[in-house]
Structure 1
């Protein structure tokens, strides 16, 4: 695989393929039940709440992944998957 290339999951492709509407935070790529629960406890129950934080952090990958890992049990891969999901979604819809 070329450097910088990424693979996407079905979850990622599904999320990016349509408007966000009222999707649960666990519909984001990289966010499983444990991370979803921690985000919900912090007031980030919906995917659009996490999108807001992504935008507040100026779509900065390092800032966003550090923020996510500090608040959830997400590892580097999960945090990067979530970042890529939001970036691809915002590139398509914002």
Structure 2
């Protein structure tokens, strides 16, 4: 927990609610735009995709790289963020 980024810590501090997808740790402005154009405008919608993939981080990372243009770093950070959120709230 000590090596947690401030952005990840903020995301995990409360339920997702209606947060925009850009709140997810690892989602850059450019990636957020790509996600929004594909219908992933809210963090809970992206979480839904993660859950549809049975919380499989590798599968989610491949998907967000191939389908949404994420970098490997963005994919890794965002999947970790969603996994950690699930651990805290599900």
Matched, 1:44 2:40: yes
Q: Which residue is equivalent to 1:69? A: 65
Question: TM-score, normalized by length of structure 2?
Answer: 0.93
CA contact (8 A) 1:25 1:36 kept: yes
Which consecutive aligned stretches of 4+ in structure 1 deviate over 3 angstroms post-superposition?
A: none
Cα distance in structure 2, aligned partners of 1:7 and 1:23: 24
The verdict on how the C-alpha distance between 1:56 and 1:13 changes in structure 2, with shifts beyond 3 A counting, is: same
> Gaps (5+ residues) in structure 1?
none
Question: TM-score, normalized by length of structure 1?
Answer: 0.89
Q: Which of 8, 19, 35 matches 1:12? A: 8
Cα distance in structure 2, aligned partners of 1:36 and 1:16: 19
Shift of 1:6: 8.9
Shift of 1:24: 0.4
Shift of 1:93: 0.4
Q: Which residue is equivalent to 2:53? A: 57
> Gaps (5+ residues) in structure 2?
none
